[in-house]
A and B are shown apart, each in its own frame.
Chain A
Amino acid sequence: MKTLLKTMVSISALMVAMPAAAQEPLKIGAAVYGLNAEFMQIWAEALENHPAVRDGIVTVTIFDGKYDALVQQEQFETMITQGYDGIIFVPIDIEAGAAAVQAASEAGIPVFGSNTRVNSDLLTAYVGSDDVQSGYMEAKYVLDKIGCTGNVVIIEGPIGQSAQIQRLEGNLKALAECPDVKVIEQRTANWSRAEAQTLMENWLTAHPGEIAGVIGQNDEMALGAIEAIKGAKFEVTDFAIAGIDGITDALLAVKAGDMASILQDGAAQAQGALDLAIAAKMPDYKPMSEIWTHYTDMPWNDGKDKAYNVPWTPVTAENVDALLALRN
């Protein structure tokens, strides 16, 4: 027993003493809030298909947070114990993740935010898209289409989530430019298509012929509204409908002329964060993801910026086929 212990101690001492071999890949962990929905699937696939992963410069492990802040906290503890070289963090909640970031920071592990913000100044950098902007863009589309007059409804995300708060801020900013437009209903459908469908069915009954525009804070809910309109035998084209995220079903609906969507590039958010995580450990590293050449509005700046803003892409009849082709 004693010998075994001794051997183990000396092996660990050796490992500490040896400089990390050059070919040893970096170990990066990604803690994401949950993998049940399409958006995070796209994010995760992009991370695993990053050129640096394929070239063996880095290995990534994705931890499914199961929509629970405590689970994410525990996953951070696991990564700290195992000595990861960096952590990419997509928190479930803007506030609840701060303690996890602090723990990693105290252990000397840099944390990179992606997609969802966390209220912590200890993040090394953040790669995401500005939800206020997308909220403004989608509401602007709806208001332009109805000619800045008439009634609209807003279907919101879960009240209090950062995306709901910021997208609403953007919605209201656009609405302020159209003082004649009245918001006759504003309720949450918790990002859910089925819930939004029920809500819209009931609104169509309560406000017959009065709803001109539907601002869905995500695509799922906009799609639910479309199904409700179809179910009630109205013409979808008589409504201006918009959503956010660019999920596959929404791209198909844009193609059919039923709605507008604003694509959130989850793949770029994932790959950008990974490039930053690698650069933090390898000073000579040049970013390998093609997103840096694709988005000229988002310069790499030697990986030294605190925040990288991935631009939104409005999905149009012109680019929808190209975007759909990327999904298969």
Chain B
Amino acid sequence: MLASHAQKYGILIALIVACIFLTFANEYFLTGRNILNVLRQTSINGILAIGMTFVILTRGIDLSVGSIVALAGVVSASLATTSSAAMVAGGPYPVAIAFGAGLAVGMACGAVSGFVVARFNVPAFVATLGMLSAARGLTLIYAGGKPVPNLTDAYRWIGTADLAGIPMPVVAFAVIFLAATWVLTSTRFGRHVYAAGGNPHAAKVSGINVPRIRLLVYVISGGMAGFAGMMLAARTGSALTQAGIAYELDAIAAVVIGGTSLAGGIGRVTGTVIGALLIGVMNNGLDLMGVESYYQQVIKGGLIVAAVMLDQARHKQA
């Protein structure tokens, strides 16, 4: 019971404690602009982590999101660049086409991983490890190893614009968070995701098409990664082939810190978002205080292991 409470509220308490500490430690932490900074810096990892939550809820894992970030980034950017060396013939195309292409690329990568997992029972770790390598290679082939610069203003809007003072990446993060929460808590598909992860056999017996659910969660994760990749390109002004390296680790960390069980079936998007925010707050706070980034990695490592230890304690009780 204690462990369960610690699991449910521990991460939120940790976030609040971190914020209180940083407020006293640095005069600029609790300013409007810095809070927007934290949210903006968290948005890309947050969106990846939300997609990852769907996958982990079904007992899977998606190691390929970082590579999909880069692939979707260069493909969509090549449709929205004004640089003649990097553009697809006839470009720049309207931003809707560029975004559509990036999203489609991400979802297609996810569909391939999902199909391999669902249809051939290849462990998710292996299937997405393959996609991690393949998508990175395709990125380099597609872009010839070079960045895709000079993106149109319309394309950069999603990364740089404000909506009533709130940066677009934060708006997108919030919308995706609300949508994902709704899907998981209030739709039949959401209930099937929990069922397929919690007890696949029982889910199958009760008539749920488990392979279809498993396929779709990778499509969702791939789509989120594609979207995040375009937002990253829009934010930095150029799609880079090295973008997103090791992003999967931070995304998995956010999900795990947020209390979603790697054993499947248990977890909430809210927890994931709090986990992502905790990582973001920590990075930002240590930057403000001038602490070397190497410490950030050590602290993050400790948090991940502590979160899983809590998860294990709960399993013993259940």
Choose from B144, B237, B240, B283 the contact partner of A198 (Cβ within 8 Å). Answer: B283
Residues of A within 8 A of B40 (CB): 201, 231
Query: Which of B9-17, B113-121, B286-294 contacts the other chain?
Result: B286-294
User: Is residue A296 within 8 Å, beta carbon to beta carbon, of the partner chain?
Assistant: no
Whether A199 pairs with B145 at a CB distance below 8 angstroms is no
Choose from A40, A41, A203 the contact partner of B287 (Cβ within 8 Å). Answer: A203
Whether A202 pairs with B284 at a CB distance below 8 angstroms is yes
Whether B37 pairs with A35 at a CB distance below 8 angstroms is no
Residues of B within 8 A of A224 (CB): 236
Interface size on A, residues (CB 8 A): 33
Whether A202 pairs with B287 at a CB distance below 8 angstroms is yes
State the CA gap A36–B144 with chains docked (Å): 9
Shortest beta-carbon distance, A172 to chain B, in Å?
19
Whether A227 pairs with B236 at a CB distance below 8 angstroms is yes
Nearest-CB residue, chain A, relative to B150: A252
Whether B33 pairs with A205 at a CB distance below 8 angstroms is yes
User: Is residue A37 within 8 Å, beta carbon to beta carbon, of the partner chain?
Assistant: yes
User: Is residue A179 within 8 Å, beta carbon to beta carbon, of the partner chain?
Assistant: no
Nearest-CB residue, chain A, relative to B242: A36
Whether A205 pairs with B28 at a CB distance below 8 angstroms is yes
State the CA gap A37–B144 with chains docked (Å): 10
In A192-246, which residues have CB < 8 Å from any B CB?
A: 192-194, 197-199, 201-203, 205-206, 208, 223-224, 227, 230-232
Choose from A36, A41, A199, A206 the contact partner of B28 (Cβ within 8 Å). Answer: A206
Whether A194 pairs with B232 at a CB distance below 8 angstroms is yes
Residues of B within 8 A of A223 (CB): 236-238
Nearest-CB residue, chain A, relative to B31: A205
With A205-B28, A227-B237, A248-B147 as known contacts, state yes or no: A232 contacts B33, CB within 8 Å.
yes
State the CA gap A198–B281 with chains docked (Å): 12
User: Is residue B26 within 8 Å, beta carbon to beta carbon, of the partner chain?
Assistant: yes
With A187-B293, A194-B232 as known contacts, state yes or no: A249 contacts B238, CB within 8 Å.
yes
In B234-255, which residues have CB < 8 Å from any A CB?
A: 235-238, 240-243
Nearest-CB residue, chain B, relative to A37: B242
Interface residues of A, dominant DSSP: helix
In A88-143, which residues have CB < 8 Å from any B CB?
A: none
State the CA gap A201–B167 with chains docked (Å): 13
Choose from A36, A185, A231 the contact partner of B140 (Cβ within 8 Å). Answer: A36
Nearest-CB residue, chain A, relative to B41: A198
Shortest beta-carbon distance, B292 to chain A, in Å?
7
Whether A37 pairs with B145 at a CB distance below 8 angstroms is yes
Whether A187 pairs with B237 at a CB distance below 8 angstroms is no
Nearest-CB residue, chain B, relative to A44: B145
Whether B145 pairs with A252 at a CB distance below 8 angstroms is no
Contacts beyond the supplied A194-B232, A248-B149: 10 A-B pairs with Cβ under 8 Å: A37-B242, A185-B290, A187-B292, A193-B236, A194-B235, A198-B287, A205-B28, A205-B31, A227-B236, A252-B150
Residues on B facing A (Cβ under 8 Å): 26, 28, 31, 33-34, 37, 40-41, 83-85, 140, 144-147, 149-150, 160, 167, 232, 235-238, 240-243, 283-284, 287-288, 290, 292-293
Residues on A facing B (Cβ under 8 Å): 35-38, 40-41, 185, 187-188, 192-194, 197-199, 201-203, 205-206, 208, 223-224, 227, 230-232, 247-249, 252, 327-328
A-B CB proximity, top 5 nearest:
A202-B287, A41-B145, A249-B149, A205-B34, A206-B288
